[in-house]
């Protein structure tokens, strides 16, 4: 019948769906076998697109030491180049070094990208909680430059904050994650 339409088709046409998280490119390291030495170079550009559609990129020739896991925790969590979270770790390393995004968003992307690469949600939560509590933090300090640049607009300078790692606090985090409950992560509105 002319002029009729399917409500189901119209709804499908205007449905808003969340972007699917995905990795783009192949993660390869050079030189071959570098994982054993603890420091690798990323061979090609590599990126992660988060569930909100934001792209997180790392570049060819970036260096990575994998996930920064204390040696005492490796029997429980895994080694720095473990398959389930190495992709997340290289993205996280890049943004911790460049500080192009906030520390909270960078740590949240670490959690989300671990899930996207197949890591168990409980383990991903534990690793995120440890990085959130003990990992690097930074802020942009706005200050006006006087002397050599008098009269220039304010410039931004990164200020690094590195919380002290306390094994007993980590144990409390691990106990809370093991007990279950929801994930406290909420970001980007």
Rounded to 5 degrees, φ, ψ at 85 are -135, 5
Per-residue pLDDT, 149: 55
CB atoms within 10 A of CB 158: 10
* Measured distance CA(54)–CA(42) in Å, rounded: 21
Mean pLDDT value of segment 54-59: 95
Does pLDDT of 66 surpass 80?
yes
Condensed to tens digits (0 to 9), the pLDDT of residues 73-127 reads: 888 889 999 999 999 999 999 999 998 999 999 999 999 999 999 999 999 999 9
pLDDT over threshold 60, residue 186:
no
What does the pLDDT average to over 45-65?
95
Whether the predicted pLDDT of 156 surpasses 70: no
Q: Is the peptide bond before 160 cis (omega within 30 degrees of 0)?
A: no
Q: List the end-to-end C-alpha distance of the chain, in Å, as a whole number.
A: 44
User: Is pLDDT of 62 > 50?
Assistant: yes
What is the mean predicted confidence (pLDDT) over 21-29?
95
Closest by CA position to 177, among listed 130, 138, 126, 142: 126
Contact 84, 122 (CB under 8 A): no
Q: What percent of the chain has pLDDT over 70?
A: 67
Please give the mean pLDDT across all residues of the chain: 78
Residue 163 confidence (pLDDT)? 63
**DSSP state for residue 29 in the 8-state scheme:** E
- In the numeric block, the tokens 């720095």 are attached to 80
Total-model pTM: 0.70
Domain segments of the chain: what residues?
18-178
Task: Reply yes or no on whether the pLDDT at 165 is more than 70.
Answer: no
The confidence band for 16, taking pLDDT boundaries of 50, 70 and 90, is: very low
Q: So what's the pLDDT on residue 175?
A: 72
Burial environment of residue 141 by CB neighbours within 10 A (0 to 12, 13 to 18, 19 or more): exposed
Q: For residue 160, what are the CA distances in angstroms to 54, 66, 76, 115?
A: 24, 21, 29, 28
């Amino acid at each position: 019948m002319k002029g009729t339409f399917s409500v189901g088709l119209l709804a499908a046409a205007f449905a808003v769906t969340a972007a699917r998280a995905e990795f783009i490119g192949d993660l390869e390291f050079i030189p071959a076998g570098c994982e054993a030495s603890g420091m690798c170079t990323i061979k090609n550009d590599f990126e992660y697109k988060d569930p909100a559609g934001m792209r997180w990129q790392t570049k060819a020739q970036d260096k990575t030491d994998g996930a920064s896991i204390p040696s005492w925790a490796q029997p429980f969590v895994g080694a720095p180049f473990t398959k389930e979270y190495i992709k997340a770790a290289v993205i996280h390393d890049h943004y911790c070094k460049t500080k192009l995004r906030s520390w909270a968003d960078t740590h949240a992307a670490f959690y989300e990208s671990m899930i996207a690469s197949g890591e168990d949600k409980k383990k991903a939560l534990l690793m995120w909680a440890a990085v959130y509590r003990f990992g690097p933090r930074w802020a942009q300090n706005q200050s006006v430059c006087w002397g050599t640049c008098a009269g220039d607009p304010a410039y931004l300078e990164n200020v690094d904050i590195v919380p002290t790692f306390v094994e007993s606090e980590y144990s409390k985090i691990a106990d809370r994650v093991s007990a279950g409950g929801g994930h406290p992560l909420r970001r980007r509105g």
